[in-house]
Structure 1
Amino acid sequence: MPDATFTTPDLTTFAGLDELGLEVVGQRLEAGRAVLAHEPLGWRPTTLLVTVRRYRCSGCGHVWRQDTTGAAEPRAKLSRGALRWALVAIVCQHLTVARVAESLAVSWNTANDAVLAEGPRVLINDPHRFDGVKVLGVDEHVWQHTRRGDKYVTVIIDLTPVREGTGPARLLDMVEGRSKAAFKQWLADRPASWRAGLEVVAMDGFTG
C-alpha cells in the first residue's frame, strides 16, 4: 500500500492483543468461530488460545509460570478485553446479558458475574468520574419489582455534556431510596470544593 497513512498489517495490533501483552502466532478459522483473539470480531464468538511458559531454576529447582494477569484474571474465562467489550455492549449499546453471553460463547451466569464485577471497578471506582460536573440531574427510579426491600433508588446524572453540547448525559451514581435524606447524604459525601462547582440541579417534583 503506497499510501503513507497506512502501516504494515499486524494481526496482533488489529485484534488488540498488544494491550494484553500477547502476540498472535497463528489462527484457525472455523465455521462457527475464530480461534485467535480475546473478544468477538463481528458477532462470531472468538476464542483466545494462550501458551503459558513455565520456567525452572537450574540451581534450586523452583518452577514458576509466566505472568498472564495482564491478559486476564487468574482462572478467568474472559480476558480483560472481553470484559471491556461486554461492559460497553451493555452500558452503551444496551445489549442484554444473554446477547453478550452468546457473543462471547459463555454461559449467562459467567457473563453476568463478569459484568457485575467489572462495572464497579471501571465505573464506580473511577476517581475521575466526578471531574468537570456542573449540572446534575436527579430522579427516582423503580429498581426492583418485588415486595422485598426498598424498590426505589435515587439516580444522579451528569447533564453537563448535554448543556454544553459535547455529548450525552452520564450516570454518576444510584442511591438506595428516594428520600430527601438519601440525596442530602450523597451530596455530603462529596468534597466541598466539588459541591461549590455545581451550577444547576435539575430534579423532579418528589421530596428528594
Structure 2
Amino acid sequence: MSIARVTEALAVAWNTANDAVLAEGKRMLINDPARLDAVTAVGVDEHVWRHTKAGDKYVTVIIDLTGIRDGTGPACLLDMVQGRSKQAFKTWLAEREQSWRQAVEVVAMGGFTGFKSAASEELPEAVTVMDPFHVVRLAGAALDRCRRRVQQEIHGHRGRAGDPLCTARRSLHTRTGLLTGKQQARLQALFAAEEHVEVEVTWGVYQRVITAYRDPDRARGRQVMRQVIESISAGVPEALGEVITLGRTLKKRAAEVLAYSQRPGTSNGPTEAINGCLERLRGSALGFRNLTNYIAR
C-alpha cells in the first residue's frame, strides 16, 4: 500500500473517531439538561479562542457562579457561543426555559455594555453586577493613559529607562499598604515635582477605588465607592481628561458597580480563572481551526 493510501486511511479513521467522540460528548455534556439545574448566579465574559485574522476570534463564555456564591462548590462552565456581542448572549438566554431565566438572581460581568443590555432584556428580574476586577482595571487603565500622556508632554518621547514616570510605573499600580520603603520613596520623589500633579491626582482616584473594595465593612466600602463616583463625575478640571472619562463610565454603570457590595460571591473572578484554563487549552493545541471542536474540548 502506498504512503498516500495509508495517509488517506488514517485521516478517515481519525475523522470517524473524532466525530464519534464529539457526538457522545455533545449527548452526555452539552445536551444534558441537568447541567443547567439550580443555576441562580451567572458570570459572562468574552474569550479569544484564536489569534488569527481569519474569521471571528471571540467566543462568549457563560459560567455558573452559584457554587461560589453559596459556598457549596466551584464555578463551572455552562456554555461557549460564537461571537462577542449583545446578540450572542441574548440569543443564548432566550433559548433557555422561562422558569430557568426567572430563577437567575445575579449576572456578573465586565465592562462590555452589550452583556448588560442582553441581561436586562432577557433577565429583567436579575441584578447585574460589574465585578471589582474590571472596575479596578478601568481605573488602572486611566492611570496608565495619564502617565503616558504626561510623559510625552514633558519629554517628547515614550518612557525610557531612567525617566521617573517610566521607573515608577509598577509602584503606581501597587496598593499603598503593600508599598515597600523603596517604592514609597520613589513615589514621594515623583509627586514632589509639580509637573506630575495630574498623575498624582489620577493615582489618588485609583487608590480610592482599591480602598473601597478592600474595606472589610461592605457597607462602608459601598459608601466610599459612591463618593469616588460622585467626585469624578462632575467638576473635574479639563486637564484631567482620563479621570473625566473614567467618571463618565462609572457614573453610567454606577448601579452595577455598587451592587457588588450587596451581592457577596458574585465576582467574575472565577470566570476569568476558567478563561485562563481555556487559554492553556488553546496554547497546547495551536492547530485548532474548528470552533465546534474547541468548544467540545
Return the structure number with greater relative CO, CA threshold 8 A, min gap 6. Answer: 2
**If each structure's helix is expressed as a fraction of its own residues, which one has the higher value?**
2
**If each structure's strand is expressed as a fraction of its own residues, which one has the higher value?**
1
Query: What TM-score do you get using the length of structure 2 for normalisation?
Result: 0.32
Query: What TM-score do you get using the length of structure 1 for normalisation?
Result: 0.45
